[in-house]
Homo-oligomer: A and B are copies of this chain.
Amino acid sequence: MTDPVAILGGTGPEGRGLALRFARGGVPVVIGSRDAARAAEVAGALAPGDGLPLSGAVNADAARQAEIVLVAVPWEGHERTLRDLAEPLAGKLVVDIVNPLEFDDRGPVTLRVPEGSAAEQAAALLPGSTVLAGFHHVSAKHLLDESHAVDTDVLVCGDDRAAKDRVLALAERIAGVRGIDAGPLRNAHILEDWTAALLSINRGYRCNAGVRLTDLDPARRRP
C-alpha cells in the first residue's frame, strides 16, 4: 500500500492534474482546499467511475493525512496559507511547487522573494517540516489531458537526501516523468524562475513545453 500524498490548494489546474496522474500511478491523493466541500467535489469529478484513490479535505486535514504534502496554492496565498498550517505540517515532507510570478503585457515576470524563493519562505514558516521544491514545470494542461503523454523531467531540490529520494520516487509514479535531483534548496529560486522562461516560450510557440535534460544517466548519481 502506497502512502497517501496531500496537495494543498489542490483544486487548481496544477493540483488537479498532479492528483489525477498520481492516482493513476497508484498513489492515494488527498486534495486540500480552504473549502472541504469544494475539495471533495473536485476529487470526485476528476475521473468519476474509475475508482481512483482520490479524496478531498480542508487543507489542515489533508496535511494530517499524508507524510508528503505538496503546496500548490497561488503565490498570493502562499505565506498566509503556510503560516496557518505550521502545526499540521510539522514532521512532514513539504514540497513547494509554487512559482512567484506575475504577468504584464510582455508576459511573465519573476518576483523577488525576500527569503530567496517561495520554497525558502516555506522553510522559514515551517521550522518543524522538511521543505523541498519541485514539480514547477509540469504542464497542468498535459497532466489533465490523459490523451497526451507526459514527457518531462521533474527537478527537485532540497537539503535532505532521504527526503529528496522519496520525492523523486513520487515524481516517477507519473508515467513519462523522470525525477532529477537539482541540488540544495538554495537552488529553488532557479527552478521557480525557470517557469517564467517556459511560460515566455509557451507564449512564443503556442505550446506547453516540458524540459528534458540530455546527456544525463540517472544511474551515475552520486551516492
**Chain A interface (Cβ within 8 Å of chain B)?**
106-107, 109-110, 139, 142, 151-152, 155, 157, 180-184, 186-187, 189-191, 193-194, 196-198, 200-201, 203-218, 220-222
Cβ-neighbour of A190 out of B152, B197, B208 (below 8 A) = B197
Instruction: Decide: B215 and A142 in contact? CB cutoff 8 A.
Output: yes
Main secondary structure of the interface of A (DSSP, over half): mixed
Give Cα A190 to B198, complex, Å: 10
Cα A214 to Cα B213 in complex, Å, equals: 10
In the assembled complex, the CB of A46 is this many whole angstroms from the nearest CB of chain B, namely: 22
Give this chain's copy count.
Answer: 2
Q: For A221, give its contact among B157, B205, B209 (CB under 8 Å).
A: B205
When C-beta atoms are compared, the residue in chain B nearest to A183 turns out to be B200
Chain B CB within 10 Å, residue with most, of A106, A109, A180, A216: A216
Set B190, B197, B220: member contacting A155, Cβ < 8 A: B197
Given A204-B183, A216-B209, are A193 and B196 also a contact pair (CB < 8 Å)?
no
| Chain B residues with CB below 8 A from A197, complex form | 155, 157, 182-183, 187, 190-191, 194
